[in-house]
Every structure is written in C-alpha cells, then in structure tokens.
Structure 1
Amino acid sequence: MSGWALLVLAVVLGGFAFFLWHRVAVAPQWATWVRWVLAALIAALIALMLASFDAWGGTFTPAQMRPWVWLGSAFMASYLYLFLGLVPVWLASVVIWFVRWRHDHGAIGRRRLNRFAAPLVVAVAVGATGYGAWEAANPTVTQVEASSPDLPEEFDGLRVALVSDLHAGAVRSADFTREAVDLVNAQEPDLVVIAGDLIDGKADRYAPEIAPLADLEAPLGVYATTGNHEMYRDTANWLRAFDAIGLQMLRNRSVPLERDGATITLAGVHDLEGEGEWAPDVDAALAGSDPAGYTMLVAHQPRQAFALEGRDVDLQLSGHTHGGQMWPLNHLVPLQQPMLDGLAVVAGTPVVTSRGVGAWGPAIRVLARPEVPIVTLRRS
C-alpha cells in the first residue's frame, strides 16, 4: 500500500473514530473518565480491525490472531449501524441547537437526547451485529432451476453445486471451509462449480484454510475460476495452491462434460480485475465450444454476462454480490451489478448469482443469508 493510500486510510479511520467517540462519549456529557475509557476502547477495536488486513504482519499465526481479528472485523460491521443510527441523532441535535439559539442552544435538551439515544444506538448496533454473526455462520442450500432447449436429454436433471465467495483467510478458518464442503457433499451434486473469491490474503499464510476443498465430491468433477480477490495479490501462488488441492481451474478455457454419450461445454473466464495473463478472455474461453450445443460459463461477476451477448451461452454461473451482505448495502449493489442474487436474464444470457457461502471482511451478514445454490438443469 502506497504512502498516500495509507494517509487517506488513516484520515478516514481517524474521522470515523472521532465522530463515533464524540457522539457516544462527548455529546452525552459523560464523566471524563468514561470518555477516556471509550476512547481507548474505540482505538483498540480499530487496531484489531486493521489486523484483519494483516496490517501487523505475520508475527503471530492465523490461529493465534483469529479471535482478535474476528472481534475487530465485527466492530467494522457494527460501525455501519452505529453510523446509520448516530447521524440522525446528530442532525436532531443540530436542529435543537438552531431552534434554541436564544436559550443556550438547547444545551439541556441536547444532552438529554444524546444520553438517551447514544446507548440505544449502541445496543441496536451490537444486536444487529450479533444477529449477523449467527446468520453468517449458518449457510443454507437453495434450489434453482435453469431451462434450455439446447440441453441434451441425457443432462436433464443434472445438479450443479455453485460455490462462491468463501473468503477464507484471517477471519474464516479451515473449520468453516470444512463446514461448507460437508454442506455441498451432503447434496450429492453431479458437478461442483466454484465461482471465485475463495480467499483473502497471501497463499503462504492462508493456503491451509482452503485445504478441505480437496474433499469436494462430484461425478463430473470440481471446477473453479478466479474472483476479484484472487487478483488483488499473490495470484500466481494462489492458482498453484488451487491446483495442489485438485481444483480444475478454468483459466479462460473450456472443457467438455460427458454423460451417457452426450456432451455439453463448461467454460470459465478470469475476473474483470485481472490484467495481463490474468485478464478475462471470453473468446479464448469459448474457442472449443459448439455454438449449436449447450454451453455453461463460470464468471465471478454477474456483469460479465454483458460480454456474452450474441455468443450462444446458455447459462452463466456467478457470485460476487454477497446479496449485499449487510442491509441496507443490498440497495447499493445495483449501482455496479445487473442483479443481486437468484436467476435473471442479463443481456440475453440467463445468469444464476449466488449470495456466497462466506463473507468478505467481517463474518457478519444481515438479511443476506449465505447460500450454496443447487442449480438443476432442465431441457425445455
């Protein structure tokens, strides 16, 4: 990270910390010692939040850091709800200040408001974060059907497990990966497709957290492509780690899938964030496909379907959106992506988008439960 980026990050975090401290400690006019205790607590939580991004290096093992990193990332999640709750309280205080400008700016009224509202907002934020921790820890299986007249009869009823956005690393350990693998295997899918963002961090530190993926089972194989987080750093080492555990990587290429003498094509492209040899190349990925046959393409982001218009792709499998992960962020997803989750048609191509089985940053989800879609292919 560059010096300017670190400076911007420090200013932003410092501004957020000051706003939070002022609203929960200063504005209610608590005793001086309470203000200092809250200041120390906020500073400690921000330090733990930075630990989830490996800001303190590799002095401690991931297992040693994980409880502290989890706490810091949970604070990052709770800050969303603290901010949403404290801003209206601040605005109400400003209104009182102006309305009562001839009477000491309503000092007593503002203090009463903040003494009531600040603890209430903190309680609601902590409650929402606690609920989000439970929701994120309990992924579910959802059923989706995708129909096409081009699907061979031999593949009618084929069940594809769509796994995406595991985000194993500083917060999510191999234990969670194992739970995800067990959830998928229990469905006995015919094919497993992994649509990117398996990891966060560097391979030499966090590769053990994805080791249980080697136990995924499906008669037609386990295939994967990259997401944007594989592109942010250590791409080559992560791809080697994926190869080492037996994932068949779709690096801008296609493979034939055979069943009872019939064949369909499974293709995959790198994520849009990739550059150079890691850049997405739809032409290369579809070079071996039959335009008259059935083709299924794996691309991390739903918006990658715009590059498929007119290319006779029957189905795209994606992730990336997390379903917004934490309400109300789901309302921001349409600013970047053409869909949130489920099944939709994007630029003429049917796209199934998973909310993902894991979570980025904090292991917190609010009204966006993690999932493993089981996509049943139908000839229609």
Structure 2
Amino acid sequence: MFVLIVGLLVAALHLYLWKRLVKDTTGPGRARRIGTVVVVLLALLVVAAIGLGRVVGPVAGEWFEAPGFVWLGLAAYLVLALIVLELARLAARPWVRPSGMPDPSRRLLLARGLAVTAGVASAGIVGTGMVTALGPPDVRRVDVPLRALHPDLTGFRIAVVSDIHLGPMLGRGHTERLVRMINETSPDLVAVVGDMADGTVDELCPAAEPLQDLVSRNGSFFVTGNHEYYSGYQQWIGELDRLGVHPLRNERTTITRGAGGFTLAGVNDLTGRSMGDAPDFDRALDGRDPSVPTVLLAHQPVQVDEAAKRGVDLQLSGHTHGGQAWPFHYVVGLGQPSLAGLSQVDKTWLYVTRGAGFWGPPVRIGAPPDITVVTLKPAP
C-alpha cells in the first residue's frame, strides 16, 4: 500500500510538471518528445531513490539517492511555484482588458515565462535549503524548570541530538562534526533520541564510530527511533553500546551529582510494536523514586501523552525535524503535539529538537538542524 501510494503521488507530481513545463511550453515535435523522456526518467529516479536505497545499501545508493532526492525537493517546490503563479495569473485576469481571440503564440510565451520564473524561484529556495541542511547545526540553549530538583543539580546540562540519519548523503564527516560541537558545549550528559542511521551496521559502522569520542560527565544514552527498525535495530543497539552510547530499552537509571539525583528513563519507539519491541512505560517508570524528577527519552513527541499520565517531569524527543521544509511542516505536524521547541502537556515539559540530519530531500526550509543544550533549573 505504501509503495502504491508513493508511486501514485510521484506519477501525479510528474504529470503536472510535464503538463506545465513540457506540453504547455513546446509544440508537437522533437522538443516535446525529449522533454517527455526527461520527465519520465526523473520520475523513475525518484522512485529508485525512495524504494531502492535500503535494498542496495548506502554505497550503491549514493549514485541515485542524492540526485533523486535533490530532484524530488526541486520538483515539489516547482509545483508550488507553478500553482502560486497560476493562481496569481487567474486573479489578475479579470483586470486585464480582453484582446480578442486567444493568440497561441502569446499563450506559449506566457507558459514559458511562468516555467522560467518557477524554475528560478524553486532553484533558489532549494539551493538555500540545501546549504542549511548540509551545513552545521545550530546550538540552541533552553532552560527547563523541574520540581524537586536538588540544588546540586542546578545548571545540569543535557546535550540533546536526534535524527542524525547517517546514510548515503550523511557520513563520517557529519558524525565527527556533531561530536565536536557536542563536546564543545561541555555537557553533563548526552541524549541521542533516535533515528541514528538509514542503513545497517555493516554498511555504516565507520560513519558511526566517532560517537565513541563523545565526552560528558555522566555518560551518553540512546533510545530507538522509527528508522532503527528499518535498519536492523538489534545490531544498532549493540553497536551503539559498544561505542559507549548506552541504550535505554524501556528502562531507567539514576543520574547523580553531589547529593542530588534524578531518574533518566528511556522507552522504545512506537514502530517497535510491529517487531516485538514495543515501548513499555510501565517497565521503564514503575517503581522509580517519586521524590526526584524524571527525565524521559522518547523519540516521538506523541509519546508524551503516556509520559504525562505517569508524572514524568520532562520528555526529550525528536522525530519531526521541525517540519524540515515549509510548508510541508503542516503535514509533518499531524498527530504530533509539537514540531519543535519547549511546550507543556499537563504538568510534563516536552522538548522537541529539530534534529541534526534530514530524511529525503537534503533540504531544510524554516527548520534549521540543531543540537540543543537543555539546562535543568529548580522550579520556582
């Protein structure tokens, strides 16, 4: 069903582009035939990028994933630009004095003008978005007040990173940059909240190795995201543990500094339900010390509903990429309580990082990547 839906969407997208960029801008003949072949090949490239990446692996996938996803991003913004321009043209039409019978050459000139304008606009948007997506993440700093926080834990810093998405377009250099930037914040603890990689350990272990260089006073911890379940989650859990990033699989540990402490818990991602590795809040949280705060790592923000029922003080999540690219964030946000930033559900604080990588088109519009340093403060 997923493949069918994706195939239909790709076909519809490219049919519209063929109509506006090929049929409307050319007459019958060689130019139209060449344009038609190019559009069909680009559609097949997108299908290959979406459907074959996990089949052939990141090494072979880089030959078609990068160009396929770049084109997909450009195609999406081409469609948006063409629709906006067409709506503007229709809105202006009643104010333009009729000039008699329609002139085919005039229509052709107008279609070509709209196509060129849309192409320039979408190329500029996508180019800017690629620079943002492939560039260094922002380092954000957020204070979160927690009840019953011991004075010795005031100022405790948690470096939160999510959605690293190692794969054909993001490799070892990406990880090295993230590790360097995290270490420069001098964190007390590092929380990696899911979607580490888009590929198996065998394919991507060299890209993940720099994680062993993370430095923090109280260690590094990890919970699964949905993409781990597409990439061999059991192997990734073992590999991250080997690299010193300790998985919290529906379990908890106590973090201490001086005479103070808090509970750090982690639950599996919702996607684990289909693989016998479902999130288990009862196992992770029941029996914890109620006199100290609880910080929960959970990949998807929507999991905060269960966290709030159990009196969790703070949930750290990712998954949404902050929407990744405007205006598609309206779709990404469906069903999630928050796309990015700090919010509150009942008495539970929820912080959602925009993630440090990307999935699909290497484009971020209005949602730059980030690493966030969450600083714990006592509640007033």
| TM score, norm. by length of structure 2 | 0.89
Pairs within 5 Å for 1:84-95: 84-89=80-85
Pairs within 5 Å for 1:1-380: 5-29=2-26, 32-53=29-50, 55=52, 62-63=58-59, 65-66=61-62, 68-89=64-85, 107-136=104-133, 137-275=135-273, 277-380=276-379
Q: State the alpha-carbon separation in 1 of the partners of residues 203 and 224 from structure 2.
A: 19
Q: Deviations over 1:17-62 (max 9, x none)?
A: 2221221111122674433443343344344434434617766x73
Instruction: Please say if residues 46 and 69 of structure 2, whose CA atoms lie closer than 8 Å, have aligned partners that are also in contact.
Output: yes
Instruction: Please say if residues 197 and 231 of structure 2, whose CA atoms lie closer than 8 Å, have aligned partners that are also in contact.
Output: no
Q: State the alpha-carbon separation in 2 of the partners of residues 309 and 7 from structure 1.
A: 37
Instruction: Please say if residues 314 and 350 of structure 2, whose CA atoms lie closer than 8 Å, have aligned partners that are also in contact.
Output: yes
Q: CA deviation at 1:64?
A: 5.9
Residues 331, 13 of structure 1: alpha-carbon distance in 2 compared, 3 angstrom cutoff = closer
Q: Which runs of 5+ in 1 are unaligned?
A: none
Instruction: Please say if residues 152 and 294 of structure 1, whose CA atoms lie closer than 8 Å, have aligned partners that are also in contact.
Output: no
Q: CA deviation at 1:313?
A: 1.3
The letter for the 1-side match of 2:177 is E
Residues 208, 54 of structure 1: alpha-carbon distance in 2 compared, 3 angstrom cutoff = farther
Q: State the alpha-carbon separation in 1 of the partners of residues 61 and 168 from structure 2.
A: 8
Residues 5, 85 of structure 1: alpha-carbon distance in 2 compared, 3 angstrom cutoff = same
The letter for the 2-side match of 1:123 is V
Deviates more, 1:48-57 or 1:135-144: 48-57
Instruction: Please say if residues 344 and 350 of structure 1, whose CA atoms lie closer than 8 Å, have aligned partners that are also in contact.
Output: yes
Q: State the alpha-carbon separation in 2 of the partners of residues 152 and 258 from structure 1.
A: 10
Deviates more, 1:365-374 or 1:29-38: 29-38
Residues 167, 376 of structure 1: alpha-carbon distance in 2 compared, 3 angstrom cutoff = same
Instruction: Please say if residues 11 and 43 of structure 2, whose CA atoms lie closer than 8 Å, have aligned partners that are also in contact.
Output: no
Instruction: Please say if residues 313 and 347 of structure 2, whose CA atoms lie closer than 8 Å, have aligned partners that are also in contact.
Output: no
SS in 1 for 2:212: helix
Residues 218, 51 of structure 1: alpha-carbon distance in 2 compared, 3 angstrom cutoff = farther
Q: CA deviation at 1:92?
A: 7.1
Q: State the alpha-carbon separation in 2 of the partners of residues 290 and 104 from structure 1.
A: 81
Instruction: Please say if residues 311 and 347 of structure 2, whose CA atoms lie closer than 8 Å, have aligned partners that are also in contact.
Output: no
SS in 2 for 1:352: strand
What is the root-mean-square deviation in Å for CA atoms of aligned residues? 2.8
Q: Deviations over 1:214-258 (max 9, x none)?
A: 211111000010111112352222222322322200100000112
Instruction: Please say if residues 53 and 201 of structure 1, whose CA atoms lie closer than 8 Å, have aligned partners that are also in contact.
Output: no
Q: State the alpha-carbon separation in 1 of the partners of residues 97 and 200 from structure 2.
A: 56
SS in 2 for 1:256: strand
Q: Deviations over 1:248-284 (max 9, x none)?
A: 0010000011211322110011112221531111111
Residues 5, 271 of structure 1: alpha-carbon distance in 2 compared, 3 angstrom cutoff = closer
Q: State the alpha-carbon separation in 1 of the partners of residues 32 and 183 from structure 2.
A: 51
Q: Deviations over 1:183-226 (max 9, x none)?
A: 11111111000111111133332333222222111110000101
Q: State the alpha-carbon separation in 1 of the partners of residues 206 and 304 from structure 2.
A: 33
Q: Deviations over 1:324-350 (max 9, x none)?
A: 100112233442211121111023210
Q: State the alpha-carbon separation in 1 of the partners of residues 77 and 43 from structure 2.
A: 16
Q: State the alpha-carbon separation in 1 of the partners of residues 219 and 375 from structure 2.
A: 16
Instruction: Please say if residues 53 and 65 of structure 2, whose CA atoms lie closer than 8 Å, have aligned partners that are also in contact.
Output: no
SS in 2 for 1:378: strand
